[in-house]
Amino acid sequence: MSWKPLETMGWGRASAAFGDVARPERVAHLKKLLSLGAMPAFGMRRSYGDAPLTSSEKSLDMTRLDRVLDFDAATGLVHVEAGLPIGDLGRMFAAQDWLPPVSPGTGFATIGGCIANDVHGKNHHVVGSFGQHVTEITLIQGDKTRVITPNDSAEFQATVGGLGQTGVIASAKIQMMPCKGDLMVLTERRIDDLDEFFMAFEDATKDFTVGWIDATAKGDRLGRGVLEEGEITSGVNRSSGKTKSVPFNAPAWALSAPIVRLFNELYFRRVPRSGRTSVKPITDPFFPLDAIHNWNRLYGKAGFNQFQCVVPLNAKDSLREMLERISASGLASPLAVLKKMGAGRAGYMSFPMEGYTLAVDFPNRGAADYLIRDLTNMAREAGGRIYFAKDGVAKPQQIDGMYPDQDAWRKVVNEIDPTYANATNLVTRLNLRGPAPETKPAGESA
C-alpha cells in the first residue's frame, strides 16, 4: 500500500492540512497499515473545519471501504463498512422499505463520519442521534481489533461522537428504520419572526422539521424564515437524478451583503403567504445542497466557516441576541438554519441536547472569525455548546464546560491511545484531550 503526499481540506475550504495519505481498499490492507502504528482516518471530509484533518502525519482515506457486508431484510439490521456514504445506504434499501434512521444534511457523509460525530437529522426530536441506532462497531486500534456494542458502555460512548479518538472505525451495524417509500410530503410556510418560529416548533407534529432563517433580517422581522415539515410517503419517484455543479470559485462580490439580502428576500417570498405542499424525492429535503456539486465554491477561494450551536430551551433570549449580532454584522450568507432538538445523544462528546440549534455560514474573513468566537462565547454563557463537525475557529478556553462528560471521554481515549497518535487538528487545536505527552529524544530515558 503506497503513501502519497496530499493536501486535504475540510468542506469549508478554510482549513487545510498536508501529509502522507494511504487509501486501503480492503480491511486486510487497513489492518496491515495499522499494525505499524495507530493513525487517524477520514472519509469524505464533509466536516466543515479541521475535524477530519491531520497535519504532518500519516492518515487513512477510508472511502474505498464502502461495501455492504450483510443485510437482514426482515429486521432491517445492516452491516456496512465505514467508508460508505449514508446517502448511498438510503438509496440501496429504500426500495425494500428501509432507510437510515438519521440522515445529516448531506448524503456524502460516510458511516464512519456519522458515528464519529454522532450526527443528527431533521427528525432528531423524534428518533434521537445516529449513534443511538448503532448496535455494533468494529474498531481497529493499532494491531488490535475490537468489536464493541452499547453494552461496552464507556468505550462505546467514547467512540460515538468521539471524533475518531478510540481507533479507526472499520465497520458498523445499524438498525435501519422502516419506511413507506422514498418520497416526502413537504409542507412549507412563511414564519414572520423569531417568536413565531418558537411557537411553530412547539406546534409541529411531523417527524421531519427544520427552519430556514433569514439571517440578514432585523427589527420586527428578526428571525423570519420558512418552516419545512415533512413526512415520508409512497409513490412513483420521477426524479431524474440529475445534479448541477459550481464549476469555479465565485467572486467575492457574489456574497456581498446587498446580494445576500436580495437573495433572502426572494427566497422568503418564493413560498406563498398561504404556504404550499408538494411531494418530492426524499433526497431533496434530506440533502438539499447535494444537488449542487461543489457548492462550497460559492464562497470563493478563501472558503467559509460555519457557526453551529445548541442552547437550552430556556435560552430564547440568547438566540435572539445572537441573531441580532449576526444581522448587524452584514457577514451572514443565505445558509442559516434553526431547529428544535430533543435530548437524544449516544456519546460523551455528542453534540445534541434538548434545545434550539442555530447554524449559519460565514465567508472566511477575519471579521467573521471574531464574530464566530463571540457567538461561541454567547452559546457557552447560555449553557449551550458548539458542534465540532462545523467548527474551525474556536479557542480551547471557549470549550471548557460545554461538554460535561469530557473528562470521562478523555480518560477512555487517553488510555486507548496514550501517545495521541489518533489526534487530529481539531482535537489538538481545542486541546480536547489535554496536553500531549512530551516526545523524548532518541536514547533518552522516559
Q: What is the pLDDT of residue 95?
A: 86
What percentage of the chain reaches a pLDDT higher than 90? 85
Q: What is the pLDDT of residue 47?
A: 97
Q: What is the pLDDT of residue 247?
A: 73
**Distance between CA 71 and CA 66 in Å, rounded?**
14
Average of per-residue pLDDT across 388-410: 97
pLDDT tens-place string over residues 243-257: 677 776 878 777 888
What percentage of the chain reaches a pLDDT higher than 70? 96
Question: Three-state SS for 141?
Answer: strand
CB 46 within 8 Å of CB 81: no
Bridge partners, residue 174, by sequence:
78, 134
Q: What is the pLDDT of residue 378?
A: 98
CB 169 within 8 Å of CB 66: no
C-alpha cell at 375: 457567538
Residue 336 pLDDT level (bands cut at 50, 70, 90): very high
Residue 411 pLDDT level (bands cut at 50, 70, 90): very high
Average of per-residue pLDDT across 29-58: 94
Burial-class residue 94 by CB neighbours within 10 Å (0-12, 13-18, 19+): buried
3-state helix, strand, coil in the chain (%, to 5): 30, 25, 45
User: For residue 218, is pLDDT > 80?
Assistant: yes
**Distance between CA 303 and CA 385 in Å, rounded?**
24
**Distance between CA 117 and CA 403 in Å, rounded?**
14
Q: What is the pLDDT of residue 265?
A: 94
Question: Three-state SS for 97?
Answer: coil
Does residue 83 lie in a domain region? Answer: no
Q: What is the pLDDT of residue 436?
A: 78
User: For residue 434, is pLDDT > 70?
Assistant: yes
Residue 29 pLDDT level (bands cut at 50, 70, 90): very high
Residue 446 pLDDT level (bands cut at 50, 70, 90): very low
Does residue 428 lie in a domain region? Answer: no
Average of per-residue pLDDT across 106-129: 97
Does residue 29 lie in a domain region? Answer: no
Residue 212 pLDDT level (bands cut at 50, 70, 90): very high
Q: What is the pLDDT of residue 441?
A: 38
Q: What is the pLDDT of residue 299?
A: 92
Does residue 320 lie in a domain region? Answer: yes
**Distance between CA 233 and CA 89 in Å, rounded?**
18
The pTM of this model reads 0.94
Does residue 410 lie in a domain region? Answer: no
Q: What is the pLDDT of residue 236?
A: 55
Does residue 98 lie in a domain region? Answer: no
* Lowest mean pLDDT, pick from 7-11, 245-249, 404-408: 245-249
Q: What is the pLDDT of residue 254?
A: 77
CB 197 within 8 Å of CB 191: yes
Does residue 101 lie in a domain region? Answer: no
User: For residue 131, is pLDDT > 90?
Assistant: yes
Average of per-residue pLDDT across 324-339: 95
How many structural domains are present in the chain? Answer: 1
CB 87 within 8 Å of CB 110: no
Does residue 309 lie in a domain region? Answer: yes
Mean pLDDT, rounded, of the chain: 93
**Residues spanned by the domain of 234:** 183-396
pLDDT tens-place string over residues 347-392: 999 999 999 999 999 999 889 999 999 999 999 999 999 999 999 9
User: For residue 262, is pLDDT > 80?
Assistant: yes
* Lowest mean pLDDT, pick from 37-41, 363-367, 434-438: 434-438
3-state secondary structure 299-339: HCCCCEEEEEEEECCCCHHHHHHHHHHHHHHCCCCCCEEEE
CA angle 259, 264, 266 (to 5 degrees): 95
Average of per-residue pLDDT across 235-239: 58
CA angle 169, 171, 172 (to 5 degrees): 105
CATH number of the CATH domain containing 365: 3.40.462.10
User: For residue 1, is pLDDT > 80?
Assistant: no
Angle between helices 316-329 and 366-381 (to 10 degrees): 170
**Distance between CA 319 and CA 382 in Å, rounded?**
9
Terminal-residue alpha carbon distance, the chain: 33
